[in-house]
């Protein structure tokens, strides 16, 4: 049985073009600044997002941590959403490594944080309080059904942060999904951000690696943070080569993943016990709840697995399915049929 893996877009494997590029990559010692393929990737990433410079790191978690460590000192505070990946899924790294104080505020269902709440949360200049240094947003928002924050919100949040003396970091792990879904140039979406992280894996399909983009001065300091965290690699052009292919060949096709996710959502929304508004699905993430007294989310996931469809539970009644470039339209049809079979009364 062919497996339809909807657990995450992190399960993607490199394309044939990526494998060829990795095999043929020209390499050098990147710690010494000698890897030409890493340099090309960093220049490409900076140009694609309209920033001065970029830094190649092994993972999205490290990209965010490097950024926070560069923005904040010990005891400084970051405002972020209570559903943020940085806050929930990154092992408390900013607090454990950087002694950075998190100030979580409630995320709306669309992934945004009310600007009024952000302004009210900024600390006064008082020795009793941590210094509020940074606002961190997430676009697209993983736990908010892959919602894309629009340009107008990003501009308003940036204006607020800068007016109040804060920097703005964007966890843009799937920022290209956001740009494609919104139909805007990614540079417009991140123009007001002081730093941006994004993944070369996930929907872009590279096997490993993430980027931090910002000013040249910020990236120079971020290199020091990367070194502290053990993220400085040697002949890393071997994996950077796949990232170049990801940025040049895999962005526009994200629209296919979004179309497949919407079709999956529409196909399962009317099934017995499924609680889902297909209109909430903007990108490639489908989050839904199960409301069945005779079935738990874990039982649904196990039943689907027997049908060859893999997804993840999220705690409580929620489950998540994520489309990616390995999932075809025909497999979406098969997945819908598997849901119908498992959920049949």
Bridging pattern class, strands 210-214 and 53-57: antiparallel
Half-sphere exposure of residue 221: CA atoms within 13 angstroms, side-chain side: 13
Q: Are 66 and 231 in contact (CB under 8 A)?
A: yes
Length of the chain: 345
CATH classification (class only), 253-343: alpha beta
Handedness of CA 51, 57, 58, 59 (dihedral sign): negative
User: Which helix (DSSP H) or strand (DSSP E) does residue 206 occupy?
Assistant: none
pTM of the entire structure? 0.96
**Euclidean distance between CA atoms 299 and 314, whole angstroms:** 13
Adjacent-strand bridge partners of 287: 320
Mean pLDDT along residues 222-249: 97
**Peptide bond preceding 108 in cis form (omega within 30 of 0):** no
Question: What's the Cα-to-Cα distance from 102 to each of 185, 190, 208, 219, 229, rounded to whole Å?
Answer: 31, 23, 28, 23, 20
**Percent share of the chain, pLDDT over 90:** 99
- Select from 3.40.50.10320, 3.40.1030.10, 3.40.640.10, 3.30.1510.10 the CATH code of 14-249: 3.40.640.10
Neighbours of 75 (CB within 10 A): 12
Q: Is the pLDDT of residue 202 over 90?
A: yes
What residues does each domain of the chain span?
A: 14-249, 253-343
Mean per-residue pLDDT for 208-216? 98
pLDDT tens per residue across span 129-154: 999 999 999 999 999 999 999 999 99
The whole-number pLDDT of residue 284 equals 98
**Using the 8-state DSSP alphabet, how is residue 34 labeled?**
-
Taking only the tens place, the pLDDT of each residue in 270-317 is 999 999 999 999 999 999 999 999 999 999 999 999 999 999 999 999
In this chain, the answer to whether the domains covering 14-249 and 253-343 adopt an identical fold is: no
pLDDT given at position 28 = 97
């Amino acid at each position: 049985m062919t497996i339809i893996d909807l657990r995450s877009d992190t399960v993607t494997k490199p394309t044939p073009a990526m494998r060829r590029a990795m095999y043929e990559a020209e390499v050098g010692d990147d710690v010494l600044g000698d890897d030409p393929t890493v340099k090309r990737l960093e220049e490409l990433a900076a140009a694609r997002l309209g920033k001065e410079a970029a830094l190649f790191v092994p993972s999205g978690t490290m990209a965010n941590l490097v950024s926070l460590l560069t923005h904040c000192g010990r005891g400084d505070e970051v405002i972020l959403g209570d559903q943020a990946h940085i806050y929930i899924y990154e092992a408390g790294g900013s607090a454990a490594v950087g002694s950075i104080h998190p100030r979580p505020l409630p995320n709306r269902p669309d992934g945004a944080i009310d600007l009024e709440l952000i302004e009210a949360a900024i600390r006064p200049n008082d020795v009793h309080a941590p210094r509020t240094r940074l606002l961190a947003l997430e676009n697209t928002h993983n736990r908010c059904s892959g919602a894309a924050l629009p340009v107008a919100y990003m501009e308003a949040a940036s204006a607020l942060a800068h007016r109040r003396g804060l920097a703005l970091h964007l966890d843009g792990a799937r920022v290209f999904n956001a740009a494609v879904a919104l139909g805007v140039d990614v540079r417009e979406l991140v123009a007001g951000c002081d730093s941006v992280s994004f993944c070369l894996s996930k929907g872009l399909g590279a096997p490993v690696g993430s980027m931090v983009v910002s000013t040249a001065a910020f990236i120079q300091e971020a290199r020091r943070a990367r070194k502290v965290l053990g993220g400085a690699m040697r002949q890393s052009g071997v994996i950077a080569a796949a990232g170049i292919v990801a940025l040049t060949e895999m962005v526009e096709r994200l629209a296919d993943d979004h179309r497949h996710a919407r079709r999956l959502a529409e196909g399962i929304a009317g099934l017995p016990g499924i609680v889902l508004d297909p209109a909430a699905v903007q990108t490639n993430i489908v989050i839904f709840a199960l409301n069945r007294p005779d079935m738990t989310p874990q039982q649904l996931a196990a039943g689907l697995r027997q049908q060859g469809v893999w997804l993840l539970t999220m705690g409580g009644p929620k489950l998540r399915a994520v489309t990616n470039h390995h999932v075809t339209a025909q497999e979406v049809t098969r997945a819908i049929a598997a849901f119908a079979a498992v959920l049949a009364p």
